[in-house]
Amino acid sequence: MPPLPLRERAGRPGISSAPVRVRGTKKISKSILAVFGLLVLAAWAPKPAHLHIKSVGVIAALGDTCMFVHVRDTPFQWIGPPEAGFLEISDWGLDDEVAKLVETALGPRYNVQSIPIEHQDFDTWSYASLTRRVRELPVPVTPVDAYLLVLRDWHPDAIGGSDHHLVGLGLYRNDLVHGRGRYGEFAAYRLVLMEPDRGKVLASVPGILLTAEFPTLPAKPTLWPRTQNDLTDRQRETLRENFLSLMVNSLPVTLEWLGLATP
């Protein structure tokens, strides 16, 4: 709440019968801006660490499919879903790389291990299904204090500003009026920290960059294939490198936001 105006008191204590006069409006305005700035910074500051957690089991279930989203330039594009295709990319080894990135970020402070899973168990999820699936996981040889899940998530279109949503890792194309399209790669994911025995959700945050923005990278039109099954070796290599770059640039800050301390 902003500071109340200073009043010249008259009559009974606590009641003003004089016109309202505000003193030092410039100072008050500066104070308001300062308080607002502190609140904004506090909102994005790393959350307090989960002090009871000393060991983490990483479940990476993000990188087994790539989404190809094509939003066409039509007056009613918002009525129906965009053209979207999916390519199975588990052979790109992205989930293994994501697990290594998490281990690198958390390793100095936590004992981290990768947990093998059946990817189809986590391709689509709700918090209720996560609780059930985590409780059904075999107990690791070395038990952990918490599971960290890296999951595909839905996110509003932050590249072309359409009414559609993006999910997981993908390549995006939005046709514009004058023939110049907008292209980009994205990583729509969520980190979920869960208690291993009861499957209780301890924290859940979407992936973000240091700027608090949705993880995206601009892409060249030449990266867009004729169909998702017609990727050239060069397109495949570029997509993989850029997906890893998005995760390298977003995972550390997302982990801090989740409440897991990084060096």
Average pLDDT on 241-248 reads 97
Judgement on whether residues 1 and 31 belong to the same structural domain of the protein: yes
Judgement on whether residues 38 and 63 belong to the same structural domain of the protein: no
**C-alpha distances out from residue 230 to 8, 71, 108, 198, Å:** 77, 19, 42, 44
Judgement on whether residues 19 and 149 belong to the same structural domain of the protein: no
Judgement on whether residues 103 and 228 belong to the same structural domain of the protein: yes
Instruction: Return the pLDDT at 227.
Output: 87
Q: Is the pLDDT of residue 250 over 50?
A: yes
Judgement on whether residues 90 and 216 belong to the same structural domain of the protein: yes
Judgement on whether residues 100 and 142 belong to the same structural domain of the protein: yes
Judgement on whether residues 34 and 136 belong to the same structural domain of the protein: no
The answer to whether 86 and 68 are in contact (CB under 8 A) is yes
Token readout for 69 is 């989203």
Instruction: Return the pLDDT at 106.
Output: 94
Structural domain span for residue 149:
55-258
Judgement on whether residues 173 and 67 belong to the same structural domain of the protein: yes
Instruction: Return the pLDDT at 41.
Output: 41
pLDDT band at 7 (very low <50, low <70, confident <90, very high): very low
Token readout for 253 is 């800050």
Judgement on whether residues 4 and 94 belong to the same structural domain of the protein: no
pLDDT band at 178 (very low <50, low <70, confident <90, very high): low
Average pLDDT on 1-26 reads 37
Cβ neighbours of 202 (radius 10 Å): 16
Average pLDDT on 211-232 reads 93
pLDDT band at 108 (very low <50, low <70, confident <90, very high): confident
The answer to whether residue 244 is domain-embedded is yes
Give tens-digit pLDDT for 43-67: 445 555 677 899 999 999 999 999 9
Judgement on whether residues 138 and 197 belong to the same structural domain of the protein: yes
pLDDT band at 3 (very low <50, low <70, confident <90, very high): very low
Judgement on whether residues 234 and 158 belong to the same structural domain of the protein: yes
C-alpha–C-alpha distance, residues 7 and 10, integer Å: 9
Average pLDDT on 154-163 reads 86
**C-alpha distances out from residue 255 to 104, 159, 163, Å:** 12, 24, 29
Q: Is the pLDDT of residue 18 over 50?
A: no
Average pLDDT of the residues of the chain: 81
The answer to whether residue 89 is domain-embedded is yes
H/E stretch holding 31 reads: helix 25-44
User: 90-94, 129-133, 179-183: lowest mean pLDDT where?
Assistant: 179-183
Q: Is the pLDDT of residue 12 over 60?
A: no
**What is the reported pTM?**
0.78
The answer to whether residue 50 is domain-embedded is no
Judgement on whether residues 152 and 206 belong to the same structural domain of the protein: yes
pLDDT band at 248 (very low <50, low <70, confident <90, very high): very high
The answer to whether residue 146 is domain-embedded is yes
